[in-house]
Every structure is written in structure tokens, then in C-alpha cells.
Structure 1
Amino acid sequence: MLRLNHICAKFAPTIRQKSTNVLELLNNRSLIQVAGNEVADFLQGLITNDINHLNNGNESMYAMFLNTKGRVMYDTLVYKGVEPNCYLLECDSEIVQSLQKHLKLYRVRRKIDIKLLDDSCIYALFDADQSSKESHKSKGLDGIIVPCNTLNETQPYTVFSKHIGDISIYQDPRIIALGLRVVAPKGYDVLGEISNGTDVKLEQSKYREFRYHLGVGEGVTDLPPGNCLPLEANCDYLHGVSFHKGCYIGQELTARTHHTGVVRKRLMPIHLDKPLEDIPEEKNIVLDKVNLGKFRGSVGCTGLALLRIAQAIECQGIPIGNSLATTGKPTWWPLEAPKEKMSA
């Protein structure tokens, strides 16, 4: 049996033993396996991040697929497979067929195998009580956007994985509080395998609210295909884009936006004074005839919205449906640095 304390020792401080750890089956997530001798070069030309991170010690990576206009088509977590020259792409189940077609379109004549893993499922293992306010205060990283093999709060770290039997456990490469991803065959007793007396609960409908509380978007609901820019979706803050790799589809606008240093709108967490009775059909958020952004979704009194940062923070109450919302910068965001400091 695999004990949770063994996982904690490997992934500390991702999951803490003396807390409420939740294991949730993510029914809205699917896996695509991409394998072949040329697979690294193939993915390098399609995703925002640098695939070489996975060849230099890291085991998981966040990235996005963009269209030619530089807008987000699909967000993905990329996992290094057990076999050589093999990667797993986790994506929203609603667009898994579209992503598969997208990959096959650009495969051309490369000898690359692309297949949907129908017999696998994905779990999130996270600490439901972990406070983002206390867990993500940066130390020495203010004003610095760093790649996925960056620093955590105590030491340099690599984004690890662990393979035991038929299950694979990956550290979420975006922010530490998001915990772990567990890839397992359908019907596998994942809870029995990792808990055995430790404080882990199998629950549903917790992860999305937890993710909204942190201000992290994921999937087609939060990142509508073709409507969102990667930096507005915090791809840079979530270690999902490389500004030093070679060309990829949609790179020009992303690089230009980054180097100008002007990103006025970003996905931000919102806190509602009461749950929404109905999801607004018109998702534009307007206050005093000023368009503040777009509502993305909510669970209870916690939600997510694409907002004009400066104006939204100054608002005492943002009208959304039958509720008033407030927002603030997540504590895992780096502090803004003067442009001359960034250049240095």
C-alpha cells in the first residue's frame, strides 16, 4: 500500500498531513497520449511553454495551445510519460476531440502516435483548508516571472512525479496550493491506495470552488476557446509560458504584450455577498457605464471573472446578477516591478 505520508515526504510542502486532504475525481478532464521519436519537437512548435523543461528533471508542466491570432484555444497540463518519448496532455473533456484533431492536423508526416486514453481518469489531491493567503507569499520572487522549475518557499525544487503500480502522481506545476494530480485506470481504488488511515476524504464539487478561491482558471468555462489571451488568463504567472524558446503558433502577440509590460485585464477571484440565483446570460460586467470585464463562473459565494485590475480593485461592490462582488490580487501573483528593473 502507498501511504500518504510517503507522498507528503516526496511532494512537501504541497500536501500537509495534519490537514483536510480531499481526493476528487475530475469527471470533466481527459487525457491524450502523444508519443514518438519526434514528439518533443512537435509539441515545442504548438505550446506556449518549453518542452525541454520535461527533459531536464521536471515531470509536469502547464501550457496553452494558441490560434494564429494569439488567443487561447486549449489549456493543458503536460505530464512526462513512463515510457521514453511519451507525454500525456490533460485537457477539458469538452474539447478533447478538438485538441486531438488539432494535433493530428499539425503532425503532417511525423511518426507520432496520438490517442485518447479512454481507460484512464484524473483525480485532484489537495488540502481543502489550505489558505492561499498564508501559503503563497513569495520570498525573494516579487516582480519576477519565473519558469516552471522555479523556487518554492524553502528551496529550489523540481516538479516531481511518482509512479507506483498502475497510478502516476504528479505535482501540479501551476501553484503549490493546487496540490497533486493522480492519473489512474478507471475503476482503480485510488483512495484505498493512498490513504489507509490518513486524513484523506473522497469528495465531489470541492475542487472548482477551491480553484476559484485561488483565482485559477481551467477549461472551456473559464477560458472560452478563441476569446481569451494567455496573459489575461495568468499563463505567465502560472509558469505556463516561455519567453525564451523558439517560435510557436500565436507567439508574436504574446511576446509583444509581455515586452510592452501592459496587461490591463486578468482572471481574478471574486467574492459574492450571496450566491447567484441565476447565472447571468450577459456575462459583461458593467458599472457606471464602464465595462469592467466578463463573468466566468461561480460556486456558492466564490467566483472567477476577467476584470480590469485597477478599476475592479477600487470598486466597493461589483454588480453581478443579484449579488455584489469584491475582488483583490491573489497572493501568488508577483508584485509589479518597475520596467527598468525587469530589463536589468
Structure 2
Amino acid sequence: MSVEPNSAYWAEQLVTQLPRPQDQPRHTPLLLYGILCFSVGLLAYLTGVLLVFPRYLLGLHAQLDPIAELLVWYSGMPIVLGLGLALVDLLVFLTRKKPAVPVRYDPVQTRKVTVALTAYNDEESITEAVEDFLSHPLVARVIVVSNNSSDATFPRAEAAGAITINEEAPGYGRCVYRCLREAVRYTDTDYVVLCEGDRTFRAYDVEKLLAYAPHADIVNGTRIVEPLRHYVTQLSTFMYYGNLFVGKLLEAKHLGRSTITDVGTTYKLCRRDSLMRLLPRLDPAVNLEFNAHFLDTALGTGQVLLECPITFHPRVGVSKGGNVNNWRGFTVGTRMIMGLVFGWKRLA
């Protein structure tokens, strides 16, 4: 069934009438800057060393010797600076940045969840994805937001029993934002589960996410646990470790607040009340980097973020996001780093 035409208006009212969440006290992320400085220095050093091959094989000593010498010699400056910044943050400022609060335990009262699936030309997988989640006893409903799909995604989701919505504005961020905005309309569920309709994730992991829910506002699924990851997925070795690296940068930015190993996963559980406070701060114009933007904004506004190991499966159909190939993964990861360091408005 399709939702009524004015549902977007009412969802907008639910969000805009809420008070804006308060930012956490700002601390200079010295560890983040330290890691980046160290990485730049190490890259410069390795580049200088590897220039030995064109220098000797092509006989370019006159041209490349000065460059190699400069790179190897001066690479020590950002390396030492990076180590210094990291040590200061870890040894001096960590105790001030880590919240002095007890471990949170807020029991789950109503275990039913609303599931919201993003979809873009997922006609091959959307029926099974919807049926999988609807068959789970803890799922009250499934919403599918199609981002202007040109295939049969929309009618197949509707036929499978989902509440179907078409987000006309292109972009992954706008599709995710619409999913979250529509899901918080339902007051009979205290939790919203965000996922994709490509069958890379399974409904049985909802119970694991709920098991972590008493301790957090947001439970973010992580695909970095090897036994839970299928041996063939669109997450290549390069993207696997690149995702882990960006996750640690985000962790370093919010030192003492969370442990993060996966910034690209789309499978997460959010408390409805926390999500409603967070939505006004999110920028749907941020595209493929939206998940990192979501986590960064949540931590910056005081949300408690926790990771939960989830299973990861091969995609049904063709990938259209950041996992198309290693180059696309590299560009998305680079833009995530830019957003963490310089702010997300620059990427919108």
C-alpha cells in the first residue's frame, strides 16, 4: 500500500517542531590531526623511496634525485608532528574528553521496530528483502523509499507488503533522510531500523541490534567481523581496510566517545526519540558519504553510539553506491575524510 500524499508534510512537522539537540563541548581533535599528519609523512617517505625504480631503470637521476631526497628527508617532520599530537591527546586530554558517566542501561520496553529500506533499481532483490523483514516477529512494518527507480522496484515492494514512497530528489543522502523521516512518524514503535533493499543484510540481525539497544541511542552494524562476512561480497580488501581506517579517524575525532570500525554500513538501529532530535542536524544533500555524516553528527550532538557485529552477504543485482569499484570507494572515503576534517557543508 502507498502512503497518503501529505505524509511528507506531517513528517516534516514532527521534526521541525522539536528542539535542536545541543552540541557536545568542542575539543580540538589532536589525535585525528596526528593520524593524518603521520599518514602524510609516511606516504611522502614511501614515495621518495619508491622513486629508486624510475631513477635507476630510466636513468633519471638528475631529475628525480633532488625530489627523492626532499621527500625522504622532510617526511620526518609530519611523522614526528603526528606522533606528538597523538601522544598529547592520548596521554593528556583523553581523561577530559571521555564522558564521566556510568555505563548506560535503559531497557527496551517495546521490542517492535519499524524497518525502513532504501532502494534504487533493486527489482531483483526488493521482494525478498521486504518479505524477510516482514516475516520477523519483531518488525511492525516495512517502509521502502525508492529513489526514483526506473525499474519495477516500487511496484514489487508494494506487492510484497511494504509501505512504498518515492523520493524524487536524487542522491543517496536524500533517500536515507526520507527513510528516517517517514519512519519516525509511527508512534507505536520506539525503534527505527535502517537498512538497504539489496539483500546484503538479513532480518535475523534485528534481535542482535535490540540486544545492544539498552546501552545506546544508535546501534551501528559493523561488517568488520570476518566470520560474519560472506567470502565474496562487494566489499573488496581495499575497501574493507579503507573503511576501517576512516572509522578510526572518526573515533579519533570523538576520542573517548565510541569505538568505530565501520562507517559505511547502512544497517543500524536508532531510538525514535533520539532520531527525532538528530534529524534537524542532518544534511540530506550529503550523498554517498551520508552514513559517515550521520555518525559524526550523532556523536557531535551527544548521542551514545555503539557498534554491533552483523552478517554481510553478497549483493543481489548490481551495486550503484560506493562499492562499485575500488576507485569509487577511494573517492567516497576521501570525501568522508574531508567531511570529518573540514565539515560536511562543503560536500553538500
TM-score bucket of the superposed structures, by smaller chain: under 0.3
The alignment's TM-score, normalised by the length of structure 1, stands at 0.25
Q: Would you tell me which structure has more helix in proportion to its own residues?
A: 2
Compare the two structures and name the one with the higher strand fraction. 1
Q: Which structure has the larger Rg?
A: 2
* TM-score between the two structures when normalised by the length of structure 2: 0.24
